Structure 1
Amino acid sequence: MAILINQDTRIVVQGITGREAAMVVGHTLDYGTKIFAGVTPGKGGQFVQGIPVYDTVAEAFQKHQVNASLIIVPPGFALDAVLESIQQGIKLIVVTTENIPQQDAVKLLHAARKEGVTIIGPNTVGMINPKDRIKMGSVGGDRPERCFVPGNVGVISRSGGMTAETSWMVKRAGFGVTTSIGIGGDSLIGTTIKDLLALFEKDEETEAVVTFSEPGTSFEEEAAAFIQAGGFTKPLISFVAGKFTEGLPEGTVFGHAGAMISGDTGRPSLKMKALREAGAIVVEEYDDILEVLKKIVGKKVGKGQ
């Protein structure tokens, strides 16, 4: 099993005729993931690498019963793209677009919550389920199998690049992943660490979760409170990057838009403290993930293939 995506996922790519989308589509198809349709207004009737293109999501839904949308469009079009998928009843939307105007981000996230839609992102590399060889987004690039192998560990990462790196650490430790997810680097995102821990808790094959965190937001503190309330009971191994940032001027942004400390909010030291107090295994050095997986998780988890 995995969370969110599996063999029943029927993907439509919004913005499929764009240059970036064409690259992502090629890598996705090469991995073995099936894409059922694409959408670009005004480009209906075309084909992209054998995938039929429609003018609207409504047409794609009618013809192919798509149930998940991968959105790869410019920032100014992201809100309309999300709303269009929501209107068709699509319940899983991955928004790779970064630099979406903040008001648009608020609107699309509000609309998604109102309709019970899961949004991954914005500003995400997406997610991958290696057992079913299905991925949504650029995650893994052209050779996902280098980092992602099937197993029993879930991975959650704020950073796109570290989604792959952390999954590779799991592989190096002798395990594999059920689902690896880059939640997105923006301060406003649809699905948080807490949300995903709730899903991993219910997944029978996921025996443990590894998280990669950054400065900014209160996502880790929310996850810690969720754990303390009994919402997540499996082993959680966490690394929080950016401890050095606490000595720099407040309000400095580090890389991602959401990686900003304001007062006590977003401080890596406080994130680490909250997670530890909740019972998570918080490692001081990133490489420590290897030994912790072997010693703690290795007692419960069969090795990944």
Structure 2
Amino acid sequence: MSILITPETKIMIQGITGAFGGKHAQLSIDYGTQVVAGVTPGKGGQFFEHNGVKVPIFNTVVDAAKATGATVSTIFVPPPFAGDAILECVDAGLDLAVCITEGIPIKDMIRVKRAMSGAKTRLIGPNCPGLVTPGTGEGSKGGCRIGIAPGYIHKKGHVGVVSRSGTLTYEAVFQITSKGLGQSTSVGIGGDPVNGTSHLDVIKLFNADPDTKGIILIGEIGGNAEVEAARWIKANCTKPVAGFIAGATAPAGRRMGHAGAIVGGHEDTAEAKIAVFKECGIEVAETPSDMADALLRAAKAKGVSLN
């Protein structure tokens, strides 16, 4: 089991003919992902070829979905056009749009969020590394890799990972794999202040997934999304959860890398979020290197096996 995507999920890639989109299309194909279509306006009728796989390119998302049955899109579209690329997925009725693009203007994302209200399509991102559901092959191949996360560090298993930070997602995944465990799905939700899917959204999916036995939640300074998720976990989650909050040494008021990682008040500091995590029964990792061990401590306290 997994959440959001499976090895059978058919995906399209918007921006497949660009250097970045094309490179990650190749890596996803090598991983075993069912890349069935590309979308680049004006290049419909051409093909993207890699290692014997011939992917047709379409002018629009609607055309690609109708012709191939793709239900998910990965968006590698430049920032000025990425908002409209997301809305193309909504118009086509896709299940999921995963926007990797960094630097989309906030006003564009506000427009996109408003337009997506009540829509079937779920958005992951923007400014995110995407998702991976590992397969059972060597190097976890045969799974579904959507975005830019390194597939080879994953291993099929029972730990769910959700994170605002791409690199900390990879760190947690690698630690879990190094412990001989594995992941059900890893989800990078992105660091922008206006995004499509929150920590809480993903936590609810992991809690409902019978094959996810433990969860690692990685957050940052800024905003209240982690606190919202922690309160829900305390009241509803039946599984062991470990958490880490990045930015403990960041000075107040200083923007730190991610567009959303800025402290606006007392409650969005790392210290405040860590205190809420502890209050809500989440095992806190004091450093990034402690994330997998923190989950193992949480699992032991609950008498849960993560194997």
TM-score category by the smaller chain? Answer: over 0.9
One of 240, 249, 264 as aligned partner of 2:266:
264
Structure 1 unaligned segments of length 5 or more: list them.
none
Deviation at 1:302, TM superposition (A): 4.6
Deviation at 1:265, TM superposition (A): 4.1
- Given the alignment of the two structures, is residue 117 of structure 1 paired with residue 121 of structure 2, yes or no? yes
Structure 2 unaligned segments of length 5 or more: list them.
136-141
Given the superposition, is the C-alpha separation of residues 56 and 290 from structure 1 closer, same or farther in structure 2, using an over 3 Å criterion? closer
Measured against aligned partners, the alpha-carbon deviations of 1:175-223 in whole angstroms (never above 9, x if no partner) come to 1100011110111111111110000011000001012221112111110
Contact 1:172 1:290 (C-alpha < 8 Å) held by counterparts: no
Counterpart residue type for residue 146 of structure 2 = M
Contact 2:99 2:123 (C-alpha < 8 Å) held by counterparts: yes
- Given the alignment of the two structures, is residue 45 of structure 1 paired with residue 45 of structure 2, yes or no? yes
Deviation at 1:109, TM superposition (A): 2.0
- C-alpha distance in 1 between matches for 2:245 and 2:74: 28
Superposition map of 1:203-242 within 5 A: 203-230=209-236, 232-242=237-247
Measured against aligned partners, the alpha-carbon deviations of 1:1-38 in whole angstroms (never above 9, x if no partner) come to 00000134110111111111000101000111111101
- C-alpha distance in 2 between matches for 1:186 and 1:31: 28
Superposition map of 1:110-189 within 5 A: 110-131=114-135, 133-140=143-150, 144-145=151-152, 147-189=153-195
Secondary structure of 2:288's match?
A: coil
Q: Which moved more, 1:277-286 or 1:19-28?
A: 277-286
Secondary structure of 1:155's match?
A: strand
Secondary structure of 1:165's match?
A: helix
> Which residue does 2:23 correspond to in 1?
23
Secondary structure of 1:229's match?
A: helix
- C-alpha distance in 2 between matches for 1:295 and 1:98: 35
- C-alpha distance in 1 between matches for 2:15 and 2:196: 20
Q: CA RMSD in A?
A: 1.4
> Which residue does 1:68 correspond to in 2?
72
Counterpart residue type for residue 243 of structure 2 = S
Counterpart residue type for residue 103 of structure 1 = K
Contact 1:259 1:266 (C-alpha < 8 Å) held by counterparts: no
* TM-score, normalising length: structure 2: 0.92
- C-alpha distance in 2 between matches for 1:112 and 1:160: 24
- Given the alignment of the two structures, is residue 57 of structure 1 paired with residue 61 of structure 2, yes or no? yes
- C-alpha distance in 1 between matches for 2:247 and 2:86: 32
- C-alpha distance in 1 between matches for 2:148 and 2:288: 23
The percentage of counterpart residues that share the same residue type is: 38
Counterpart residue type for residue 86 of structure 2 = V
Contact 2:9 2:72 (C-alpha < 8 Å) held by counterparts: yes
Counterpart residue type for residue 4 of structure 2 = L
Contact 2:90 2:120 (C-alpha < 8 Å) held by counterparts: no
* TM-score, normalising length: structure 1: 0.93
Counterpart residue type for residue 236 of structure 1 = V
> Which residue does 2:82 correspond to in 1?
78
- C-alpha distance in 2 between matches for 1:265 and 1:116: 33
Deviation at 1:81, TM superposition (A): 0.9
Contact 2:7 2:34 (C-alpha < 8 Å) held by counterparts: no
- C-alpha distance in 1 between matches for 2:48 and 2:38: 8
> Which residue does 1:273 correspond to in 2?
275
- C-alpha distance in 1 between matches for 2:83 and 2:258: 20
- C-alpha distance in 1 between matches for 2:190 and 2:242: 19
Deviation at 1:48, TM superposition (A): 1.1
Secondary structure of 2:226's match?
A: helix
> Which residue does 1:101 correspond to in 2?
105
Deviation at 1:46, TM superposition (A): 1.0
- Given the alignment of the two structures, is residue 300 of structure 1 paired with residue 288 of structure 2, yes or no? no
